[in-house]
Structure 1
Amino acid sequence: MTKAPTVEDVARVAGVSRQTVSNVVNTPGIVREATRLRVEAAIAELGYRPHAAARRLRTRRSSTIGIHLDPYAGGIAGVVLDRFVHALTERASERDMRVLLYAARTAEEEIDRLGDLLEGGEVDAVVVTGTFHGDPRTGWLNERGLPFVSFGRPWGEDDVAAPAHLWVDVDGAAGTRAATEHLLAGGARRVAFLGWPAGSGTGDERERGWRESVGAAAGPRWVVEDNVALARDVLAEGLARDPEVDGIVCASDSLAIGAHLAAAVAGRADIPVIGFDNTPAAEALGLSSVEQLPERVASGALDLLMGESGTVVAPRPATAGAAHVLVEPRLVVR
């Protein structure tokens, strides 16, 4: 059996000391770029993998990132977060990090769970999901100094120039802007928006993209909770009141499916409907949708927490313009 390569083997091939190899593996930011690249090339050539358990004992780090697992709610809305968690786990593993899933039904319950994880030294960092205005979790984490990044912006006055913490998000306004422009380019003259009640940061951003691009072709703005049946009922009434609508942009695929069903029942199956999330359900129905690219979101979260090639948690400072990754989504036309 071939002997696994060691730190000494990497050091010999790269022409550096054992400590330099250790620095490249654990804290690459302190190593000169030319040296780091030489060591990384030697690691790749030899197929060297640090022993994770030994490193945890040596560094007193857990090499673990915690992330909240949302309660199962049925429907199709959780597909994007599921993809994100899978991608985060795969990409963290590539950096010799583990992902720990924990459950909580409320923000307060999550804070209690985070307290247990912090006290037990079970995680080096946390990824917070589903941020909202006045989110108590982020303030709690900041006060206790536990490194974290949120999937979802802080929703402050200016999250770019004055960030409250590290964050990664999908540019929802860019997504609905692309959807609206696609409908207008296809000849639509009255484009409606089907969204959630005002006050949802994510929903408001998606509505903003439609408003900024629809111009004189602005149709009604219909409001409904994220539910297929409710969306179908709202659209049935809305189309009856405003039969001139010839294009619909939606804040989610759940809403888009409801709109599609209502249009079909009304004999208006020709109305193009565009959703948001690009779920398998939308694909099966042949609906165009905005793809959030959760795999890029996962990579962005790890880059903020660990640097572009780091293998330990070393979060980027939350400074103006550098504390976030904003992923531009992609419109999938069907």
Structure 2
Amino acid sequence: MTEVLTEARGLARHYRIGRRVLHALDGVDLAVDRGATLGLVGESGSGKSTLGRTLVGLQKPTLGKVLFEGKDVADAEPSFLKRLRRERQIIFQDPSGALNPRMTIGATVLEHLSVQGWSRAEAQRQAAVAIEQAGLSTAFLSRYPHEISGGQRQRAVIARAISTDPAFIVADEPVSALDVSTRAQIMNLLRKLQMERGLTMLFISHDLSVVAHMCRDVAVMHLGRIVERAPRAVLFKTPRHPYTAALMSAIPIPDPVREKKRTRIILKGETPNPANKPSGCSFHTRCPRATDICRSVDPPMREMGKGHEIACHHPLE
């Protein structure tokens, strides 16, 4: 039986822009099982990073709850909040922007640990262990970010994240800024750390081939809402939401014959503005299956099979 480690319930995050309100998150319900890696995919601007940052406490929700081990984070006691700062970590997309150029890698990791209450001696031991588990030697602790490669910088960011022995990590597009060979190395490192440490991970990416390699389950996000969730094999073989099917059709196939024969789904029009979302289903303006009910009624999430949920009035067969 699976155990939920962290969960979003009715999570909303709104930003006021002049007289309008941008709905970055709009009623998200999402549970992440302990020890699993959940992939989160969607177009740019769909709210993936906002959701990840809210789940680790970098942003506060406008509405809804974030639960960790079944406890509402907003009502948590000080001792529990202190532990949460160690238990929830994030790996950012751009390793150069995530590291202070005026600090060595070692100073960056030590600062991260000392802020959370580690003694200097404990922090030094943790930093050495983390940097080696991230695939670098302790010699890198004395180097500055500009003295190492992009892949090594991302390993340093990973070392900082795992140095506190977290239970939950949000990996926000962690390989998108890297070249192909380095990308594979970092993905393998994350999988190794996840298995060795029993980490629970939310892996955010726009690259579905990366998600297929990394994740057990996949959730699809569109304009601040989860529109489909399923086990990886099920979602990639039989996507039921038209939006998911369009995303899947964009994955390149390394077989020229099969690639030539298949039909790509080209969505017409532009993604609606989150500050001026359409009524009903937010995807209906681009959906080839849209009807009157789609334009007026927001579809609720419903079960389509074991572990397969979808928010659509007219799911694909």
The structure that is strand-richer by fraction is 2
**Which structure has the bigger radius of gyration?**
1
Normalised by the length of structure 1, the TM-score is 0.30
Normalised by the length of structure 2, the TM-score is 0.31
